[in-house]
Amino acid sequence: MNKYKVEPGKKVNLKDHSPDETGDFEGKKPKGLEKLSENRIEIDRLQEILYSENKHRVLVVFQAMDGGGKDGTTRAVFEGVNPQGVKVVSFKVPTPLELAHDYLWRVHSRTPGKGEIVVFNRSHYEDVLVVRVHNLVPKEVWKKRYQQINNFEKQLAEEGTTIIKFFLHISPEEQKKRFLERLEIPEKRWKFNPGDLSERKLWFDYMEAYEEMLQKTSTKWAPWYIVPANRNWYRNMVVSSVIADTLKSLKMDYPKPDLDIEGLKAQLNSESL
């Protein structure tokens, strides 16, 4: 899946990345779903080791345009994984308390502890996306945030956090289709926010903001992946493959407690209960 990784400092033009792509799985949806199933099993197995070893921390970041599939990807990839070791954090509009602090204040306390996987559904990157597109702070303020975010993530990485970031890339046509589904299907209407239509009008402003964000904040310690997301099954397969491979790279193992196994077995076998 390295072809979807953004090389640090490399200029990004999202027009060069087709959201319809299905790579080597073109016309092979059943094979893609089979791979997704294999990845889920592997992630479940590795998450249990991560939790028991209590050594590594893993942060997964999802960013996308509205309708990009952040919720669906989270459900699909972590289905069946023990919820005790996986937390999902969704960052909404900042509260007055959060606005009284620096923009990273509310984020730092939600990063993973040892043995945890934490998923950010939206993240600190809203402060170089929404803030930029809507001119909520001056340009000279948000321009500084790329380096501030890189420094923040480097600190997390140096303290033992493995960071993986995914931009779920959909087309405006696919977004329109998904918005119409939300309006037409009663069970999906709760997801629709009329404000999403106003944001949609700013599509090209957001694409420009995403391109600069991807270029300036994809680093060796916290890489971005541009994931083709028009087809849900392929999106889920790509994300799950990257997460499974990343967890494997940590070379984890179950802890070996200092126990007298034979003595404890004998004690249990001799009890009178």
As a whole number, mean pLDDT of residues 2-19 equals 95
Domain assignment of residue 105, given as a range: 2-270
What is the domain-level CATH number for residue 241?
A: 3.40.50.300
70-77 helix and 29-53 helix, angle to the nearest 10 degrees: 70
H or E element in which residue 87 lies = strand 86-90
**Where does 183-259 show beta strands of DSSP type E?**
224-228
Contact between 121 and 90 under an 8 Å Cβ cutoff? The reply is yes
- State the DSSP H helix or E strand holding residue 165, giving kind and residue range, or none if neither: strand 161-169
User: How many other CB atoms are found less than 10 A from the CB of residue 235?
Assistant: 28
pLDDT, averaged across the chain: 94
Question: Confidence band (pLDDT; 50, 70, 90) for 63?
Answer: very high
Residues 150/217, Cβ–Cβ less than 8 Å:
yes
Which pLDDT value is given to residue 83? 84
* 232 contacts 68 by C-beta, under 8 angstroms: no
pLDDT band at 93 (very low <50, low <70, confident <90, very high): confident
In this structure, are residues 164 and 123 in contact, taking their beta carbons and an 8 Å threshold?
no
Strand order across the 161-169 sheet:
86-90, 117-121, 57-64, 161-169, 224-228
pTM of full prediction above 0.85: yes
Q: What is the distance between the terminal CA atoms of the chain, rounded to a whole angstrom?
A: 55
Per-residue pLDDT tens for 178-214?
A: 999 999 998 888 888 888 899 999 999 999 999 999 9
Question: Distance (Å, rounded) from C-alpha 103 to C-alpha 156?
Answer: 16
Own/partner contacts of 186-193, CB < 8 Å, gap of 24 or more, are: 193/66
What is the rounded radius of gyration, in angstroms, for the C-alpha atoms of the chain? 21
Total number of domains in the chain = 1
pLDDT at position 188, please? 86
Give the integer Cα–Cα distance in Å for 73 and 232: 8
Q: Which amino acid is present at 68?
A: G
For residues 135-147, average pLDDT: 97
